[in-house]
Amino acid sequence: MPKTAFRLESFTESVIREMTRISDKYNAINLSQGFPDFDPPPELVAAARRALAEGYHQYAITWGSPRFRSALAKKQQTWMQIPINPDTNIVVTCGATEAMIVAMMTVCNSGDKVIIFSPFYENYGADTILCGAEPVFVPLYPPTFDFDPEELRKAFQEGVKALVLCNPSNPAGKVFSSDELEFIAKLACEYDTFVITDEVYEHIVYKPNIHRYMAAFPDMESRTISCGSLSKTYSITGWRLGYVIASADVINAAKKVHDFLTVGAAAPLQEAAVAALELPLSYYLKLQKEYTQRRDLFLTYLDSAGLQYMTPQGAYYVLVDISEFGFENDVLFCQWLAKDVGVAAVPGSSFFHEPVNHLIRFHFAKKEKTLKAAGEKLLQIGSLL
């Protein structure tokens, strides 16, 4: 029999998605794969109905429908504080997942090195390998998830083509400070490197933390490739709408990669999502308030259960320390948790390059009712062991 490609041998299937299957198997409350169990704003659903009735059934322009790009440019320009031309600075993709691999394939030649902070969202490792590049991991040290500036400089000295920055970070819940971003930006300029950002949690940030866009730092506009998505901000992970924002040169090249990978994101949903991009500032303030309530509610249960964690500064994940339970590793713990406690989490080891086996990731993008039900179950951990 002919064999499948070697490049697939160095990574496994997504552990996050596998945990969803395990959760379903045991009928657990799924706090593993991060997606909301509540609906998007009703005006989006109405706009989607209208788009289907109005006949948007064929391909949109491959790099994004003009109305969507124009609304996106307007919204992101306000938040990112950089000029964005809807025709030359945007490629609309099938979620940030496609945006990230498009960005990497756009800048990396085979054998190029890419810095990835560890822990990292599992796609980045696979993305680098799929485009023939080599990851250089730089640790973010728990419990605060700070990096060692000297270690980062050394990684740049290896001659890297790009650095991947997930900010706010999945799974660490870290929001990089201005000083940290400035340091990364300076190194990127000094070593002539791209920064590929994953900023899908840009609007899920907890006070007093503030999200700052790498593209807006001095001299970074032309070397930052900003990847984003509507999934998390508007609770529409299944619509698969993401984008790359970058300089005209990078976008020219990225359009080609995107075109041959997917042709384009769903045309009717791009039309409908204009309604999302035009929501007023009050929407984002409400989103932040509601996520803060979800986070605080879930953390109250973790506290009552006596679990140790770092308070998330952004995104909707929390890494919890399970060392005290005496399990051999986090994978076994997560299997037990789903089966015997009825709550699904992701083993932290799937996010770390280093051998870290004492953390598990919960997400809290869930209704109050769901979080309370999961929390009540977590309170029983001690008695079930």
Residues that bind ligand GLN (CB under 6 A): 16-17, 33-34, 121, 170
Nearer Cβ to ligand GLN, position 89 or 169? Answer: 169
What are residue 317's DSSP bridge partners?
Answer: 363
Closest CA to 97 of 259, 300, 314, 242: 242
Nearer Cβ to ligand GLN, position 361 or 377? Answer: 361
Half-sphere exposure of 210 (CA within 13 A, CB side): 8
Buried b (16+ CB within 10 A) or exposed e, 315-329: bbbbbbbbeeeebee
Nearer Cβ to ligand GLN, position 106 or 170? Answer: 170
Closest CA to 352 of 50, 138, 33: 138
Nearer Cβ to ligand GLN, position 33 or 233? Answer: 33
Nearer Cβ to ligand GLN, position 34 or 264? Answer: 34
Residue 249: count of CB within 10 angstroms of its CB? 10
Nearer Cβ to ligand GLN, position 89 or 233? Answer: 233
Nearer Cβ to ligand GLN, position 217 or 298? Answer: 298
Question: Cβ of residue 366: shortest distance to ligand GLN, in angstroms?
Answer: 13
CA distances in angstroms from 270 to 26, 71, 77, 187, 286, listed in the order given = 36, 10, 18, 37, 23
Is-contact 89 77, C-beta < 8 A?
no
Question: Cβ of residue 24: shortest distance to ligand GLN, in angstroms?
Answer: 14
Question: Cβ of residue 21: shortest distance to ligand GLN, in angstroms?
Answer: 12
CA distances in angstroms from 28 to 303, 374, 378, listed in the order given = 21, 9, 12
Half-sphere exposure of 370 (CA within 13 A, CB side): 18
CA distance 15 to 225: 27
Nearer Cβ to ligand GLN, position 121 or 145? Answer: 121
Sequence-ordered list of residues with C-beta below 8 angstroms from that of 177, at least 6 positions apart, any chain: none
Residue 222: count of CB within 10 angstroms of its CB? 12
Sequence-ordered list of residues with C-beta below 8 angstroms from that of 301, at least 6 positions apart, any chain: 371, 372, 374, 375, 376, 378, 379
**Amino acid identity of 158?**
E
Q: Report the residue number whose CB is nearest to ligand GLN.
A: 34
Question: Cβ of residue 49: shortest distance to ligand GLN, in angstroms?
Answer: 26
Q: 267-277 vs 66-80: helix axis angle to the nearest 10?
A: 40
CA distance 316 to 334: 19
Nearer Cβ to ligand GLN, position 34 or 40? Answer: 34
